[in-house]
Every structure is written in structure tokens, then in C-alpha cells.
Amino acid sequence: MDDVYLGEDLEDKDTAFTWEVKANDHAYHEQFRRKGFLCWRQKKYRSNAIHTAKYNFFSFLPLNLFEQFHRMSNLYFLLIIILQGMPEISTLPWFTLFAPLVCLLVIRATRDLVDDIGRHRSDNIINNRPCQILRGKSFLWKKWKNLCVGDVVCLRKDSIVPADMLLLASTEPSSLCYVETADIDGETNLKFRQALMVTHRELTSPKKMASFQGTVTCEEPNSRMHHFVGSLEWNNMRYSLDIGNLLLRGCKIRNTDTCYGLVIYAGLDTKIMKNCGKIHTKRTKLDLLMNKLVILIFMFIVVVSLLLTLGFAFMVKEFKGKHYYVLALHARTEAAESFFLFWGFLILLSVMVPMAMFIIAEFIYLGNSFFINWDLNMYYEPLDMPAKARSTSLNDQLGQVQYIFSDKTGTLTQNIMTFKKCCINGCIYDSDDEHGILRKRNPYAWNPFADGKLQFYNKELEHMVQGQQDTVVQEFWRLLAICHTVMVQEKDNQLLYQAASPDEEALVTAARNFGYVFRSRTQDTITLVELGEERVYQVLAMMDFNSVRKRMSVLVRNPEGCICLYTKGADTVILERLHKKGAVETTTEEALAAFAEQTLRTLCLAYKEVAEETYKQWEPEHQEATLLLQNRAQALHQVYNKMEQNLQLLGATAIEDKLQDGVPETIKCLKKGNIKMWVLTGDKPETAVNIGFACKLLSENMLILEDKDIKRLLENYWNESEQQRAFKMMTHHNIALVINGEFLDQLLLSLRKEPRALVQNAVVDEAPQELGMSRMDFLQARRISLMWRNIGATLTQSPSAASKIRESPEVRRERAFVDLASKCQAVICCRVTPKQKALVVALVKKYQQVVTLAIGDGANDVNMIKTADIGVGLAGQEGMQAVQNSDYVLAQFCYLQRLLLVHGRWSYMRVCKFLRYFFYKTVASMMAQIWFSMFNGFTAQPLYEGWFLALFNLLYSTLPVLYIGLFEQDVTAEKSLKMPELYVAGQKDDLFNYSIFLQAIVHGMLTSLINFFLPVLVSSDISKFGSSSDYQSFGVVVAISGLLSITLEVILVIKYWTLLCVGSIVLSLGAYVVMTSLTQSLWLFKISPETFPFLFADYNVLSHPVSLLVIILNVTLNTLPVLALRVVHRAVSKLRPKEEEVPSEEEEVAVEPAVRHLRRGIPARRSSYAFSHREGYADLITQGTILRKSMGESICVSPNPSEEDLPPHHPSQHRGSIFNPRKISILAKMKWSHHAKASQEEVHPDTGSQTEKQATLYLNPSDTQKPPTTSSAMSVSSSDDQAFHSVPSEYTLDSQPERLDVRSSSWKGLPWKDPASPKPSQLEVPKQQHSHNSS
């Protein structure tokens, strides 16, 4: 992280401020040139027209060809074709390689052309968008492409910003301009930009704009979206500019009538364009393997060519010495002849390189992506959203995933908190309505403030509330309405609540529906409407939540004059502060346990009446503590604690963090498929563990290890005996890890040091250039390690053991950790930053050569998504950023199951079958050439007709292969889902690896041997009508045998027979018939006898029964043994899993007692209190920074409710801290703004979650009397600053005790060490609950 910061700083220093923009001065900008390609100099300042299209009409052919020949395989074939052009070494007819290559080039070029035409279209649409540009003295409607740097542009409401420009003025007060950046970063909340005061004041009319002569000096165009430094020089004054003054291309102007801007970067220089086009293509394991195998085949060909040439070197002596009839043909020296022949062989055997494989594979990938897009079972109707494969080259990898890294909020959960149950005065109130009757009629119709969305309804409770008899019930709801830090605003007669955490909002909303409506708040009052009666409570003190206190209290004076303390908090904290412990407390405690059992988030509510004297004594202490400059947090803590004693318990609430549909089932299914699931969340451990239980990731019989235990395990990990012990423990228990972000920090040391391992995606914005290289290195390293692994497990064992000794301790620790974690059933990482998320993925990728998948929905998951082998974005509420960086887009988490188990498995199986068959087919048909060389004196005579070679891979054998790749199904989708165990094959690379490849090659070789040598044997024994087998008939017999053999093989391979399949096979064979009769026809022979020499060869061959008999024999001999082998193998392998099952059952029996004992040891988990782990806004509220006393004001604090709020104990890692200075400057400006002319400002609910937290404050300036001085702005900003920074600092101080606290409360040590701990009566609780309910 630190180096990233350094990098950023350095970049700042390095940036030369050489970009000069003069307003309204065309000629000035025109004169500058910069070095372009070769000596051709381009304009320095580009026009605003963008060209994302690669080609134009003239450049298409040359450029596209140039690009295509960048591919190694194409280049290789071009080389071969050039070689073929030399008559000395040409062994194949010219068209044999030329035709397929041209075909492939044309197919690919067509695809590129179609893509490019689309790009041209969209470019045209964008370039021709209208905008108003200042020309002369007035604004004229022009097109975007006419825009130049230095132009002044007028933008209206809802128009899109055409270029990066400096905001000069707007019609809003203080020259504010609101923009929506949904197209840039996907965040839908409004942001604002502000013009410099000087331009705002001066440039008030087009005339003045036209005479504007300012010069902007700034950095060269760069890709940093959130960074801009520059200055404006005007009238001999310099004003500094930052990103807050800049309107970025692609933003939409909102809520601002008109604004004016000066274009600074245009077209491709704009920040958004600079950020485009850096697409890192991820490649799959199979893809890499494929390339390697092709290279292997190539090397094989070279070696075989050398050997055959060697054979020729012997033969040529004989030819020259004895065979007088060819003597004159071998006129050169032996060495020269051999040299030429080597190339001849290279050409001859080049048909064995599966050239067509790549392009067919591309089609297969594309097709499978379409099937993903088309799948109705992954279509989410509420959002009208099908699944989408954004990357079309990763499908097979979906079938090999071994690790899933999942975000929590918004991915596993819906991030919707629902008020589920409550326990008031010992009675449990459940919702009467479980089946959605509520949706039909609103039971809260009597309450004008009800929002009608509450899912909770209990008739009995409603009666009690309306009856106003039970004070406990009254106080319960009152507490929920008073004790919180929610902000309220009124819009269209509707109350809108803005809370720091969704839990709080749920509670306040529940209170509101039950008639205790939180209406408005000022700095020191809270207004409620209690069952229609408005009551104003005076707030005496607000004791905010933090993670140490785990509670929040509000001290109020009610309208009657009594002082009351309302407290809500975690059960452990509240229960120990109670005044007395009676029956109610006990039943409440049991209710809490029951709630927790149902993985609900619970909260205890308590209150007490405070005597006037007590308050008077306490008040000065409080004041004093508030004013302390040092250790204020500590002091306040103590003061609060003093007040929060002797409470009276009111009850408890239970909130459901609603899981997405089908999450537990999906996780269970994926676990069965041997996929390890890691949850990476910024949330606190309690919530994460709670969710872990809710979604069945964790179960009761699991051993949960946390930081300390892991540390101990890791320290002794490489100690043999310890390791044995650890393993023993692991095999006997289901283990889950719960890790904190802090722990990860200590762990991920070497990875952090290793910049390339960081998979750079995490820092893609900062250094895009170097990135490509480093990624390559990293991939290279991975590839090599993968290769080693594949070569043989036995081989790797020793080097890795040796390397372990050489490894640095950090690396060993990391390795140990990954080893450990890989043996666990579940891993949950809490409080991790986005960066750490990516690091964890990188860690696993580094030490385990496995396929990783990351799934998330928010901007904080982007790093992780980019780092993982496969990134899946959930299209949720959190904007589109995750989606835009992902490879696959899903609407719901549960579709992951289908994506992996069905589509992934199918794709993998298809590609594997395709590869296996393709290699087989190529070898089976083409290897005969090698055998033939041994019979013709090693002279590289081709065996087959040139046309057969040319069309074999294109027409005769392509369609069935394509069918396998697109439609093959070994089992149906339903069965795939029912039997997740089938997925394991992909993880183990079982369907295609080196041994399968070897198998395919050997199989192919056998086929070719049979196909070739049977005719040889028959022919040497034959004398038939006309002549014994001549060269052409012989070639035809081998060719037909080969073609039929591979066709029969494909018939055996295909398990899913449809009409399409029959069609594809019939078409292929039909193509052979048609094309052969064409190329062997008299008509073509007459046109060019040299090109079509095989006149009627097939006809003559097939009219001889012997040829037919030989062909039948060949095909049978090729097919039947293989078939028998498969049948026997199938029958035998059926038995194997049965044998394996038996011992596993025994094992389970042995484990059983231990599990039971564990279960007993686990204490009830119920400290999952409903707070976000961030502090609320009590400080801001009480200090009055953002509140004014006047009524009817519109106040809105829109903090970021995101849970991804980074571990506060690492302020330096706080991603938001990069932006803190900026944020503060914005805050300062906001302060400033209320001195300007007032106008009513709209309130913008800020619901989106942002990584960069930014408090957007809308203030009513009307009651401000302070003069507009910078000093006031400064002071305000500093106080804001404090407000923002006090949180982390406090946490740092107290984080240690808090963690201990948590441990003692929730996980009392390691359960297996403490078998004597009393067993909570978990089974009895529900019964009691029930009785309470019925009473």
C-alpha cells in the first residue's frame, strides 16, 4: 500500500505542467505539434472527435492482415506458404495450405469488420451529438466533434458533458453544478462541481465569455479520474484548480439549469477515454495448455522432419548411386538435397499443426457465452436482467473453479434489514403474517405516517400500543423513535430517513409504523408524533455508539420535564448494566438466544428515569469531558458509563439481514461440488459469522478458529509433529477460519513486497503501462509452476520441499496459511479493505495453482474481481462498477450455482472433448504421411490428394467437432445440479491434461498405423484388376479409412444425439462426397490438369470390392477395440466409487461423538447486535455542525452506509484517505457556499455506496450570519476534519480490549478445551417462546 502512495506522490512530482489552454484562442492551440508515429507530427491538442474504431475503408485490409499475422500460428502458416512457393522444397500443392489459411483469415476478418462497423456507428452517434459552442459572440449549436480545446461550451440541464472542461460559471448559487457520474463510475448519487468565484462573478454573459482570455496551465492528459492539478491565469492573477472544478466527459448535468465550461482536454485526451481500452484479457488454463500443446506438436514435427531427413540422407546416396531413373532428379550434393528436403518435410507435416483449432475454439467459446446469455433459468425477472457473459474466453474455466471469494453485503445478503421479531417485557411478538397478506392490505392504515412497507405485524402488539396501557410497550417504541442518529427529511409529505446503518433505519421505521414517528430533529431537540400527538423531547446528551461501547444512549427531557435515559446495545453490554435481574430478564435472555439461533441480529433495549439531581451532578462532568483536548474519547467513555447504569430492561429486537433467495442452498450445493467458499467482507466479525451461519457456510458442529489460534498453528506449521497433530485435528473436525483484516496485514507481507504478485489490477489506475509487463511476468511464473505441476506430482514434491528451506519466513508463513485455509470448510475474512480482498485472492492464486472466482456487487469488490481468474459481478443496487469490471454478470447470487455447475461444467467438458478429439483427429489422419515417407525413400511425397488435405480440417471434419464444442451434454442440466460431485473432474483437470493429450496422440497414432499399414500389407499381397494398388488409389483408401474412422470416433464420443448432430455428420460426409467428386471431375481436370490430378480416383477405388473390404476392415479395427475398451472401463470404473464410499462412512461414525461434544461446548451466539460498526453522527448532531436550529429546514447527512468501511485501525490504508483532503476542501467549500445568495436547495438522498466516503452536506444558509471569510471556512473544515478522523483514532486506541471482549463473550476460548462448560438448553427455548407467544 505504501509503495502505491509513494508512486502516486512521485507521479505528482513528475508531472510537468505543460498543458496550456488559452480560452477562445483557436490559433494558439493549432500551432503545437507533437512527435507522432515516425516523422509524422500530430497536433498536440486533439479535437473532440473520437475514433474507437480500428479501421477505415482503406486501412481495413492491410491493418487487419497485419494484426492477424501477429498471431504466431498465422505467421507460421504464412511462413510455410512462402516456403511452399519455392519449387525446390515445395512438397504440397499450393492450395493445400493456402485455402484453409485464407478461409480462416476471411472468417476472422469478417468478425473484426462487423465489430468495427458497430464501433463506427457508435462513434458517429457520439461525435454528432449536439452541443452549444461559443463562436464569436454567441452560442451556436454544433456537433461534439467540432469542439476544440479552449472552446467555451454552454451546457443545459440533463445534457452530457462532451469533454473534460473547467467549470466557469453556472446559474446555481455559488456556481455549483451537480453532476451524475453513472456513466463513469456507476455511482448514481449526485456530486457537485464548483466554479472559481472569480469566473463566476465576471463571466455573466456570452459577451463576457467571448472576451474571456484566461490561460489554464495543467498536467498533460492522464488517466487519473480523481486527480487534477492546474491553475488559471487571468488578468495577472493565478487561481489554483483541482478536480472539484472539472466537469468530466461523460457526466450528466443535473439540477443545474445552465453552466459554462472551458474545454481543457478533448476527445481521446479526456480522462474517461484515457481510462478506456485497457482490457486485460484473462486466459484460461486450457487456453494456455492448448498453446503449449501446439508448440509441442510443432517441436515434434521439427524433430520428425529431422529424423526423416536423416533417413533421406542415407537413401539419397543410394538414389544417386544406383537408382538411375531418379539420378538426374537428385542433381545436387547430398547435403544440399537433405537441407532442402528438411524444409519439404516441414511443409508436408505442417498439416499436423491444428491450425483450425484456434478459430473453432473461438466459435465454441462464443457459442457457449451465448448459451449463458440465453439461459432463462438465470434470468431475473424483477430486474429484467438475464445473465451476461462479458468475456467470451473464460467459459471452460467456469468448470474448474475451486475457490469462490464472495463479498457479503449485496452478494449473499440483499442488504435489506427487516424488523422480524421483538421481545417486550419478556413476551415474544412474532409477525402474524408470514405469507405476505400484508402486501395486500396495509394494517397500519390508521397511522398517517406509516410507510406501508413494514413486513412485521402483530395484532396483539398493535392492540397494546393503541391501548396505551402498558408503559413498557410505550417506552419500547419511544426508545426506538428517540435513541438513534437517523436524519430525517420531508419530501412530498413523506418522511425519508437517512441512517448510518440499515439496521437503525429498520428500527426507526418500525417505530414509525407503530405510531411512534420520529418527525424531525434539531441540535438539541427531537420531535416525535406519538400516536398522533406531537411531543418535543429535549436532548441533553447523546452518547453515540462505537465498537467498544457497543451501545448507544440518549438522555432526554420529555415534555413533562422528566429526564430519561434510553439505551440500546448489544445484549452482553446491556444485561450487565441492568438494575435487577428478574424473570423478565431471564425470558428475554432466552428469547435473545432463540433469535440468534435463527441468525437474527439482536439488540437489547433498556431505559431509566434519571433524577434531576443526578443529572445536575453529571452534567458538569460531561461538559468537561466534551471540552477536553486530550483523551477526550477515553474521558467521555467513562462519563457515559457512569450514566448508563441501573437500567431497566424493556426488551429486545430482532432484525433479519435478509439473505438473497437461495443462498444457503447454493452454498451447500457448491460445497458439495468441492468448491471452497471464502467470504471477504468489510463487516465486523460478529455480523459476518452470523451471516455465515445463516447461509449455512458455518454450521453448529464446526470448530471456529480465529486469529490467535491460527497464529499459533502457523508458527509451528512446518514442525513435522505439529503438522501431524494439526492434520489429525483437521481430519477429525470441520474447521472454519474467521480472520480479521489486521491479521491479514501481518500475514500478507511477502505478497505485498512483491509488486508483480499483487496482480497489479489492484493498482490498475495508477500504473497502466508497467502493468502489462509485470502481469506477464507473473503469468509466466504461474505458467511455469503449472507446467511443473503437470509434468508430475512426484517431481514437484522434491523441489518444493527443497525450496521451502530457501523460502523467506514470510513466504513460509503465507504458504502455511494457505495450506491451512485450504483444509478448512469455510473461511471468513472480516474487516478487509478492497485491497486486502485482492491480496487474499492473489495469495491463494500464488500458493495454490487453482482457479479462483470472485463475486461481488460493489465498487469495493472491483479489485478482487479483477484479480481473480474469473470475476463475477452482481448487478445490484450498488452501481455498475463491479459489473463493468467483471467477466460475467449475474442478477442473483444463486445463479452462480447454475453458471458453474451447469454452464461451467458443460463448457469445460465440451472444450476438453473438443480438444481431445481435435488432436486425435489431426494425428489420426495426418500421421500416415510420416509412415508413407518410410516407403517412398524419405522423399516427402504427400500421401493424400492436395484437396483432401486442404478441405479436411475445413469441411470434412469440422462440423461434428463444432457440435461437440457447442451442444454436447454428458448429463442434463438437472442432473448436473443434483450431482455437484460431477464438478470435481474439472477442478482436477481430469478431462484434459497431458496424459489425456498423450492418450489422444497415441490413439490417433494407432489409428493412423492401422489405416496405413493394413492397405500396405494387403497391397503387397495383392494383384488385382489393372494393377496393384497405385499411388492415387492407395492415398484414397487411406484417406477414406481415416475420414470414416474419425467420424465413427466422433459418433462414439458424442453422448447427446440430436438432429443437429446427425445433420452435422451427414453434412461433413456429404461435403466429402460433393467436394471429392468435384475436384476429381473431368470438368475441373480439363481446366487445370495439374491442379486436379486425381481424376476419378475415388470412383475407381470404390468400384473395387477389395478397396471396400480394406476400408471396412480399417474402420472396424479402429473402432471396435476402442469401443470395447470404453465399455469395459465404464463397467469397471462404476465399481470404484462404491469401494471408496465404504470407508468414508466408517470415518463419519468415528467422528460423530467428537462432533456432539463440540456442539455442546459452543456457547450461544447472540452478540450480533444491530449496529453498523461505524460510529453514528452524534458528534455532528450535537456539535451542530450540520444542523441549524430553525424549524422546517432540510437537512440531510448522507453518510455512506456501506459496511465496507475499512478497518479503522489502519488509517494509512484507508482508501478513502486519499481523498480526504479533497473531501475536506469540498466541505469547506460547502460551508462557504452558504454565504452566497440563498436559494432553496434540493435534498438528494444518497443511497449509493462509495468507496470514497464523502459526506455530502446540504445546508440552509439563510440563518448564517458569519461573513464570508476564508478563515471561517477553514475553521469549519477543521472541525469536520476532526469529526471524520476521530473515529479511526478512537478505534486504534481501543481496538485491543474490544477484541478480547468479543472473544470472551462469544467464543469462550476454544470449545474443545472446555468440555465441562454448561450446555445451554437450546432445545427448550423454542417451547418457552411458544408459550409466551400464545399467552
Partner 1 sequence: MTWSVTARGAHQPDNTAFTQQRLPAWQPLLSAGITLPLFFCAGLAFIGLGLGLFYSSNGIKELEYDYTGDGGTGNCSLCAAEGQGRAPPPSCSCAWYFSLPELFPGPVYLYYELSNFYQNNRRYGVSRDDAQLSGLVSALRHPANECAPYQLSATGLPIAPCGAIANSLFNDSFTLWHQRQPGGPYIEVPLDRTAIAWWTDYHVKFRNPPLVNGSLALAFRGTAPPPNWHRPVYELSPDPNNTGFINQDFVVWMRTAALPTFRKLYARIRQGNYSAGLPRGSYRVNITYNYPVRAFGGHKLIILSNISWMGGKNPFLGIAYLVVGSLCILMGFVMLVVYIRYQDQDDDDNDDE
By CB under 8 A, tell whether 1144 contacts partner 1. no
| Closest CB 103 distance from partner 1, rounded Å | 24
Sign of torsion, CA 583 584 587 592?
A: negative
**Burial group, residue 773, by CB count within 10 angstroms (0-12, 13-18, 19+):** exposed
Q: Beta strands 601-610 and 138-143: pairing type?
A: unpaired
Among 437, 1127, 1150, 1300, binds partner 1 (CB under 8 A): 1127
Among 156, 1055, 1157, 1330, binds partner 1 (CB under 8 A): 1055
Burial 879-893 (b: 16+ CB within 10 A, else e): bbbbbbbbbbbbbbb
d(CA 312, CA 933): 9
Task: Give the residue from 419, 280, 1122, 389 showing the smallest Cα distance to 774.
Answer: 280
- 557-616: which residues touch partner 1 (CB under 8 A)? none
d(CA 1335, CA 1333): 5
Stretch that binds partner 1, among 162-170, 581-589, 752-760, 936-944 (CB under 8 A): 936-944
By CB under 8 A, tell whether 319 contacts partner 1. yes
Of 227 and 898, the one with the shorter C-beta distance to partner 1 is 898
Q: What angle do CA 748, 736, 1144 make, to 5 degrees?
A: 125
H/E run at residue 1210: none
Place of cell 468414508: 1144
Of 532 and 1121, the one with the shorter C-beta distance to partner 1 is 1121
Of 773 and 1082, the one with the shorter C-beta distance to partner 1 is 1082
- 338-357: which residues touch partner 1 (CB under 8 A)? 344
Return the C-alpha torsion angle 640, 642, 646, 649, nearest 10. 10
Return the C-alpha torsion angle 859, 864, 869, 872, nearest 10. -40
Burial 548-584 (b: 16+ CB within 10 A, else e): bbbbbbbbbbbeeeebbbbbbbbbbbbbebbeeeeeb
Helices in 828-904 by DSSP H: which ranges? 834-847, 862-867, 881-884, 895-897
Sign of torsion, CA 889 893 895 897?
A: positive
Task: Give the residue from 1136, 1117, 1299, 1275 showing the smallest Cα distance to 1209.
Answer: 1299
Among 102, 140, 1073, 1120, binds partner 1 (CB under 8 A): 1120
| Closest CB 845 distance from partner 1, rounded Å | 31
| Closest CB 983 distance from partner 1, rounded Å | 18
| Closest CB 1089 distance from partner 1, rounded Å | 4
- 1017-1036: which residues touch partner 1 (CB under 8 A)? 1017-1035
Stretch that binds partner 1, among 436-444, 654-662, 937-945, 1263-1271 (CB under 8 A): 937-945
Tell me, residue by residue from 884 to 923, as one string, x for binding to partner 1 by CB under 8 A and - for no binding.
Answer: ----------------------x-----------------
| Closest CB 393 distance from partner 1, rounded Å | 18
Of 691 and 1014, the one with the shorter C-beta distance to partner 1 is 1014
- By residue count, the chain amounts to 1335
Of 787 and 1109, the one with the shorter C-beta distance to partner 1 is 1109
Q: Which string of DSSP letters, residue by residue, matches 1241-1284? A: ----------SS---EEE--GGG--S---HHHHHHHHHHHHHHH
Tell me, residue by residue from 135 to 174, as one string, x for binding to partner 1 by CB under 8 A and - for no binding.
Answer: ----------------------------------------
Helix axes 334-349, 285-321, angle to 10 degrees: 150
Of 321 and 620, the one with the shorter C-beta distance to partner 1 is 321
Task: Give the residue from 394, 405, 372, 332 showing the smallest Cα distance to 88.
Answer: 332
| Closest CB 1108 distance from partner 1, rounded Å | 10
| Closest CB 883 distance from partner 1, rounded Å | 14
Neighbours of 193 (CB within 10 A): 25
Of 648 and 1019, the one with the shorter C-beta distance to partner 1 is 1019
Tell me, residue by residue from 440 to 459, as one string, x for binding to partner 1 by CB under 8 A and - for no binding.
Answer: --------------------
- 650-679: which residues touch partner 1 (CB under 8 A)? none
- 1056-1075: which residues touch partner 1 (CB under 8 A)? 1056-1060
| Closest CB 29 distance from partner 1, rounded Å | 43
Of 330 and 1165, the one with the shorter C-beta distance to partner 1 is 330
Choose, from 407, 524, 861, 1301, the residue flagged as catalytic.
Answer: 407
- 30-89: which residues touch partner 1 (CB under 8 A)? 87
Tell me, residue by residue from 916 to 935, as one string, x for binding to partner 1 by CB under 8 A and - for no binding.
Answer: -------------------x
Name the residue type at position 1225.
Answer: S
Question: Residue 777 catalytic?
Answer: no
| Closest CB 386 distance from partner 1, rounded Å | 5
> Are the beta carbons of 853 and 870 closer than 8 angstroms?
yes
Return the C-alpha torsion angle 1150, 1156, 1159, 1160, nearest 10. -140
- 1194-1233: which residues touch partner 1 (CB under 8 A)? none
Among 937, 1070, 1268, 1320, binds partner 1 (CB under 8 A): 937
- 1000-1019: which residues touch partner 1 (CB under 8 A)? 1014, 1016-1019
Q: Which three cell numbers stand for residue 1012?
A: 496405413
By CB under 8 A, tell whether 371 contacts partner 1. yes
550 SS3 class: coil
Among 82, 331, 445, 793, binds partner 1 (CB under 8 A): 331
By CB under 8 A, tell whether 384 contacts partner 1. yes
d(CA 197, CA 760): 40
Stretch that binds partner 1, among 155-163, 540-548, 938-946, 1200-1208 (CB under 8 A): 938-946
- 954-993: which residues touch partner 1 (CB under 8 A)? 967, 969, 973
Of 60 and 1056, the one with the shorter C-beta distance to partner 1 is 1056
Residue partners of 481: CB distance under 8 A and separation at least 6: 508, 511, 512, 516, 517, 518, 528, 530
Tell me, residue by residue from 241 to 280, as one string, x for binding to partner 1 by CB under 8 A and - for no binding.
Answer: ----------------------------------------
| Closest CB 303 distance from partner 1, rounded Å | 21
Tell me, residue by residue from 1072 to 1111, as one string, x for binding to partner 1 by CB under 8 A and - for no binding.
Answer: ----------x--xx-xxx--x-xx--xx---xxx--xx-
Task: Give the residue from 681, 684, 697 showing the smallest Cα distance to 735.
Answer: 697
By CB under 8 A, tell whether 115 contacts partner 1. no
* Binding residues with partner 1: total (CB under 8 A): 94
Of 631 and 1028, the one with the shorter C-beta distance to partner 1 is 1028
* β-sheet bridge partners, residue 737: 705, 827
Among 1124, 1296, 1313, 1315, binds partner 1 (CB under 8 A): 1124
Of 496 and 1095, the one with the shorter C-beta distance to partner 1 is 1095
H/E run at residue 175: none
239 SS3 class: strand
Of 968 and 1205, the one with the shorter C-beta distance to partner 1 is 968
Q: Beta strands 187-194 and 427-429: pairing type?
A: unpaired
Backbone angles phi and psi of 973, in degrees to 5: -60, -40
Task: Give the residue from 556, 397, 574, 587 showing the smallest Cα distance to 481.
Answer: 556
Stretch that binds partner 1, among 689-697, 853-861, 1124-1132, 1237-1245 (CB under 8 A): 1124-1132
Stretch that binds partner 1, among 374-382, 496-504, 579-587, 649-657 (CB under 8 A): 374-382
Known catalytic residues are 407
